[in-house]
Amino acid sequence: MSIPMISIRSLAKTFVLHTQGGTCIRAFDGVDLDVAAGECIALHGPSGAGKSSLLRSIYANYRPSAGSVVISHDGDGVDMTSALPRTILDVRRRSLGYVSQFLRVIPRVSCLDLVAERLTAMGVGLDEARDRAGRMLARLNIPERLWSLAPATFSGGEQQRINIARGFIRDYPILLLDEPTASLDGENRTTVVAMILEAKKRGAAVVGIFHDDDVRGRVADRCLQLNRPE
């Protein structure tokens, strides 16, 4: 029995909104999950059930109220809920990729460089990084004339594809995908599905939120059902 790439135990997240009189919002509660290499888990449930929050909690973007998230990193398990900030950064740099729903744009940085950065941060030379980034963008149908532009003015679908390029440019052992095909048309959707299947084939563990039943059906091995907490 191989060691899971992700191992979640009793994970819970409650938001306390102090600016709104201390209202408590329970995002999710008591989540247990193991994800093996090459597996894809789809998080399923109605809107507001905490799917995005769970994904962000695995990434350590949200800090869980209880429980543990152990990520396999360099052969060791790192508990993201208690690791040092620099450890979390290292895990995100090398083991854990995340494709969010929204692209955070840095002013003046071209979309080519946004993607290439993921490689140069690992020590890949700038020219090679840009070359590989270009091929990734081309695969996702971002025309070359857009590569030198900052994506602030791109359409939602274009921004989403850049996000995806950033997530797949490196062979992350673990991938977290939040609605990766939400704003995409048929052809691009097919490309992304192919990319996910390739990732699985090379042994990546994937956890994703897939709105589209068809996409889910093609990539997911299992579903984790989340229900809106009372």
User: Residue 63's CB: how many other CB atoms inside 10 A?
Assistant: 10
Is 86 among the residues that bind another protein (CB under 8 A)? Answer: yes
Spatial distance between the Cα atoms of 89 and 150, rounded to a whole number of angstroms: 25
Beta carbon nearer to another protein, 16 or 223 = 16
| Among 4, 23, 58, 63, contact with another protein (rule: CB under 8 A) | 63
- 50/27 Cα distance (integer angstroms): 5
User: Which part of the chain contacts another protein (CB under 8 A), choosing from 30-38, 54-62, 135-143, 182-190?
Assistant: 54-62
> Is residue 194 at the binding interface for another protein, with CB under 8 A as the rule?
no
Closest approach, Cβ 16 to another protein, in A, equals: 7
Question: Total binding residues for another protein by CB under 8 A?
Answer: 21
Q: Is 89 in the site for another protein (CB under 8 A)?
A: yes
Q: Interface residues for another protein in 107-136 (CB under 8 A)?
A: 107-109, 120-121
Alpha-carbon span 28 to 43, nearest angstrom: 12
Q: Read out DSSP for 16-72?
A: EEGGGTTEEEEEEEEEEEEE-TT-EEEEE--TTSSHHHHHHHHTTSS--SEEEEEEE
Among 16, 122, 138, 194, binds another protein (CB under 8 A): 16
Q: Distances in Å between the alpha carbon of 130 and those of 109, 110, 138? A: 13, 11, 12
Shortest spacing between CB 11 and another protein, in angstroms: 14
Which spans of this chain sit near another protein (rule: CB under 8 A)?
15-19, 56, 60-63, 85-86, 88-89, 104, 106-109, 120-121
